[in-house]
């Protein structure tokens, strides 16, 4: 039996190849996943870090402004969490169209998502603006 066909030699060669492959830090697939995941993680972490920085700055002013920031931060976080469906849904729709080779449809899906986000933003702005208390001027006091 030739040495290459010997099961012992072949098994030792396969074990050596697995060990050498294990020494590589990342495979090509791992690098691709990281290339996509790291920016997504940064986007998810950005808003809580902004709120943390706001709290550190406003906390030096006093407890009443910090309480107001806490309420506003919770409202903002809730609004973002409710609206996240649009980003995830648009991303999936565009990816499906691109995967099917329909670039024009993917562009249309992306533009539709932008228009929907703008419409939702205008509605939220109108509702929030109409229900917000009006500031009083110093002369009216």
User: For residue range 25-54, what is the model confidence (pLDDT) as tens digits?
Assistant: 667 888 888 888 888 888 888 888 988 999
Strands (E), the chain: none
Q: Could you state, in order of their start, the residue ranges of all structural domains in the chain?
A: 28-125
Mean pLDDT of 121-130: 88
Left (φ > 0), alpha (ψ -120 to 50) or beta: where does 27 sit? beta
SS3 content of the chain, % helix, strand, coil (to 5): 85, 0, 15
Does residue 89 carry a pLDDT above 80?
A: yes
Hey, CA dihedral for 40, 44, 47, 50, is it positive or negative?
negative
The average confidence (pLDDT) of the chain is 83
Q: How far, rounded to the nearest angstrom, does the alpha carbon of residue 51 sit from its chain's CA centroid?
A: 16
């Amino acid at each position: 039996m030739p040495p290459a066909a010997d099961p012992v030699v072949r098994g030792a060669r396969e074990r050596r190849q697995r060990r050498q492959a294990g020494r590589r830090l990342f495979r090509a697939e791992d690098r691709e996943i990281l290339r996509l995941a790291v920016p997504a993680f940064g986007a998810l972490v950005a808003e809580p870090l902004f709120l943390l920085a706001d709290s550190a700055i406003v906390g030096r002013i006093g407890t009443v402004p910090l309480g107001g920031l806490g309420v506003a931060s919770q409202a903002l976080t809730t609004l973002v969490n409710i609206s996240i469906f649009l980003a995830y849904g648009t991303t999936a729709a565009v990816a499906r169209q691109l995967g099917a080779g329909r670039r024009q449809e993917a562009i249309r899906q992306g533009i539709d998502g932008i228009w929907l986000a703008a419409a939702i933003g205008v509605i939220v702005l109108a509702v929030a603006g109409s229900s917000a208390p009006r500031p009083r001027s110093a002369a009216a006091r």
